[in-house]
């Protein structure tokens, strides 16, 4: 049985409790981060902490734990649960108060929960065979740049993709791809340029997106940050997604149209290798 962390205590998962009055439960008033673990070490951890603080600032949430404490909790859970490959999930909510739309953050204790998930990340069916994508309308709220636990629509989009026989959904607003249901979306043009949507309130500033783009730029890969349509994506040489748990995940079809011969593309797989090598060098 896993050990999880809840508000200062390490407890068996079946004994972990959060109040029914927690605003995370009643109002999705909370934020989260997911960091990958490879060989027992955290990938891109400082960047995940920076984004946690940004999300907290945007919502006026208090982060009481220091970065050193948060790193120590991550490491303790990795060690107690013997995680070699997997993820650490960290969620922070505004805390517990009687149900009311208005809140007084200062009088509340933030809730902090962390748990681990052990699973293969380096060798997966997605990394070997790629994933199929279908497009789904993006009807999310206007602050998709904040990593909140308000994930019902991305879940529904993923279920819609599954019901259409695909692995995942790309969200489309005004004909333009915003991002994946839980990933950033990229295409590779015929002349090898990597294209991804620029940062704005419409997408999450992905940690993997940003790290990959800096590693790719350092190796001379050309990158264009611009919007692209779902039609352009279907015509692209290759497509892929980035996220903390998938790293660089090859896309082999979009709305039933095959890309790169229905196999993971060479540029994508090169970028996957670069990302894994470079991020492991910097792992905590
Ligand atoms: N976009 C969305 C909507 C996400 O939910 C995620 C990850 O969960 C990402 C992008 C990728 O972000 P990261 O690379 O930081 O995991």
Catalytic residues: 147
Q: Does the beta carbon of 207 lie inside 6 Å of ligand 1? A: yes
* Residues 6+ positions from 204 with CB-CB distance below 8 Å: 144, 145, 147, 179, 184
Query: What are 167-205's pLDDT values in tens digits?
Result: 999 999 999 999 999 999 999 999 999 999 999 999 999
DSSP per-residue letters across 117-138: EE---SS-HHHHH-EEEEEEE-
**In degrees rounded to 5, what are phi and psi of residue 4?**
-120, 165
Q: Does the beta carbon of 259 lie inside 6 Å of ligand 1? A: no
Specify the pLDDT at position 190. Answer: 95
Q: How far is the CA of 98 from the centre of ligand 1 (A)?
A: 32
Distance CA 52, CA 49 (A): 5
Distance CA 114, CA 80 (A): 13
Distance CA 270, CA 194 (A): 12
Atom 3 of ligand 1: nearest residue by CA position: 182
Domains identified in the chain and CATH numbers: 3-118 (3.30.470.10), 125-281 (3.20.10.10)
Please give the average per-residue pLDDT across 16-42, as a whole number. 98
Query: What are 200-235's pLDDT values in tens digits?
Result: 999 999 999 999 999 999 999 999 999 999 999 999
Stated pTM of the model: 0.97
Nearest to 259 by CA among 239, 277, 279: 239
Query: What are 87-107's pLDDT values in tens digits?
Result: 999 999 999 999 999 999 999
Per the CB < 8 A criterion, the answer to whether 37 and 43 are in contact is yes
Atom of ligand 1 nearest to the CA of 207: 15
Report how far apart, in Å, the C-alpha atoms of 128 and of each of 5, 19, 65, 87 are.
Answer: 34, 42, 39, 20
Atom of ligand 1 nearest to the CA of 48: 15
| Kind plus residue range of the DSSP H or E element containing 142 | none
Sign of CA dihedral 48, 54, 57, 59: negative
Q: How far is the CA of 204 from the centre of ligand 1 (A)?
A: 6
Report how far apart, in Å, the C-alpha atoms of 144 and of each of 25, 102, 128, 262 are.
Answer: 19, 22, 30, 31
């Amino acid at each position: 049985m896993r050990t999880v962390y809840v508000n200062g205590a390490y407890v068996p998962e079946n004994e972990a409790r959060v109040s029914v009055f927690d605003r995370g439960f009643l109002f999705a008033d909370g934020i989260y981060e997911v960091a990958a673990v490879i060989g027992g070490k955290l990938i891109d951890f400082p960047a995940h902490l920076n984004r946690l603080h940004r999300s907290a600032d945007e919502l006026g949430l208090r982060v009481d734990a220091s970065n050193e404490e948060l790193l120590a909790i991550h490491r303790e859970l990795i060690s107690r649960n013997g995680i070699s490959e997997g993820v650490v999930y960290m969620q922070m909510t505004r805390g517990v108060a009687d149900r009311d739309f208005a809140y007084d953050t200062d009088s509340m204790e933030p809730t902090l929960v962390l748990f681990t998930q052990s699973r293969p990340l380096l060798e997966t069916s997605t990394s070997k065979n790629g994933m199929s994508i279908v497009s789904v309308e993006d009807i999310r709220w206007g602050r998709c740049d904040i990593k909140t636990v308000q994930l019902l629509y991305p879940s529904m989009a993923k279920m819609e993709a599954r019901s259409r026989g695909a692995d995942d959904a790309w969200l489309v607003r005004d004909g333009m791809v915003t991002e994946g249901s839980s990933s950033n979306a990229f295409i590779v043009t015929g002349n090898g340029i990597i294209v991804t949507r620029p940062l704005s309130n419409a997408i999450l500033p992905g940690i993997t997106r940003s790290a990959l783009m800096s590693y790719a730029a350092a190796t001379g890969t050309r990158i264009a940050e611009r919007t692209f349509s779902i039609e352009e994506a279907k015509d692209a040489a290759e497509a892929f997604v980035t996220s903390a748990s998938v790293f660089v995940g090859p896309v082999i079809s979009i709305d039933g149209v095959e890309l790169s011969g229905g196999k993971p593309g060479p540029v994508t797989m090169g970028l996957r290798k670069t990302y894994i090598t470079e991020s492991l060098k910097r792992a905590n």
